[in-house]
């Protein structure tokens, strides 16, 4: 699919909680399977046995209650460092398509913009943790955070530590993502996530087809 030094294809999904990442990833997984390109799916934080323990600490463990922004940043980075080397890089080296539910842009925006950790520190730690391979394309599912949160609440799941932040936090996240997309227009593709799931999914497949010509048959877009 690519040159020897840049094998496989790496796709990440980003956006506020409830914007529809899992839904769209599921639809894309099905489409890629039908196209004969079964992808590998990973999530952040998590995706490895170590990363899943870190996920629990970050989201639900009582020990995380008074976590400092700096400790939070380093835990997300530790999870990513393990995932990148244990799972993502080997799969890409085999030429596979890898889909990640969040990757380093989440840290740039949540810890950098919303938690106000200086950008230079976040960039340095992100680079160290993720290594040299960045996503080939990132789908930013953009929508009003209040509407996204309402969608998420309808699932009736236990509310985790990050979800308890005030609304301003999630507005900062949205604005942070949009500013990041302006800085990386070639990599980050902004999709209107307020549309129906099938329309969002079509926009994503069309963009992938544009970047990887022939990935889908024209009848499946």
Closest separation in Å from C-beta 173 to ligand Z5A = 8
Residues near ligand Z5A (CB under 6 A): 15, 17-23, 44-45, 76, 102, 106-107, 110-111, 151-152, 154-155, 162-163, 196-197, 200
Which one, 90 or 160, has the nearer CB to ligand Z5A? 160
For the record, the structure tokens of 129 come out as: 């943790």
Closest separation in Å from C-beta 33 to ligand Z5A = 18
Which one, 22 or 217, has the nearer CB to ligand Z5A? 22
Which one, 1 or 221, has the nearer CB to ligand Z5A? 221
Closest separation in Å from C-beta 200 to ligand Z5A = 5
- How far, CA to CA in Å, does 112 sit from each of 87, 142, 180? 26, 19, 11
Which one, 76 or 216, has the nearer CB to ligand Z5A? 76
Asked if residues 71 and 58 have their Cβ atoms less than 8 Å apart, the reply is no
List Cβ<8 Å contacts ≥24 apart for 203-208. 204/24, 204/27, 204/28, 204/139, 205/28, 205/31, 207/137, 207/139, 208/11, 208/28, 208/137
Closest separation in Å from C-beta 45 to ligand Z5A = 5
């Amino acid at each position: 699919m690519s040159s020897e030094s840049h094998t496989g294809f790496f796709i990440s999904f980003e956006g506020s909680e409830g914007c529809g990442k899992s839904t769209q990833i599921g639809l894309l997984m099905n489409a890629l399977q039908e196209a004969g390109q079964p992808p590998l799916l990973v999530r952040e934080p998590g995706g490895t046995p170590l990363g899943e323990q870190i996920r629990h600490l970050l989201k639900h463990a009582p020990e995380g209650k008074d976590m400092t922004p700096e400790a939070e940043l380093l835990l997300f980075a530790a999870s990513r460092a393990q995932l990148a080397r244990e799972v993502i890089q080997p799969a890409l080296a085999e030429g596979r398509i890898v889909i990640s539910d969040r990757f380093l842009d989440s840290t740039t925006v949540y810890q950098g913009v919303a938690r106000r950790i200086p950008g230079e520190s976040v960039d340095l730690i992100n680079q160290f943790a993720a290594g040299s391979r960045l996503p080939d394309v990132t789908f930013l599912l953009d929508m009003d955070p209040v509407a996204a949160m309402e969608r998420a609440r309808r699932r009736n799941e236990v509310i985790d530590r990050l979800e308890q932040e005030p609304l301003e936090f999630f507005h900062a996240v949205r604005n942070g993502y949009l500013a990041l997309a302006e800085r990386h227009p070639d990599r980050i593709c902004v999709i209107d996530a307020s549309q129906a799931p099938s329309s969002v999914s079509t926009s994503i497949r069309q963009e992938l087809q544009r970047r990887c010509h022939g990935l889908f048959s024209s009848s499946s877009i």
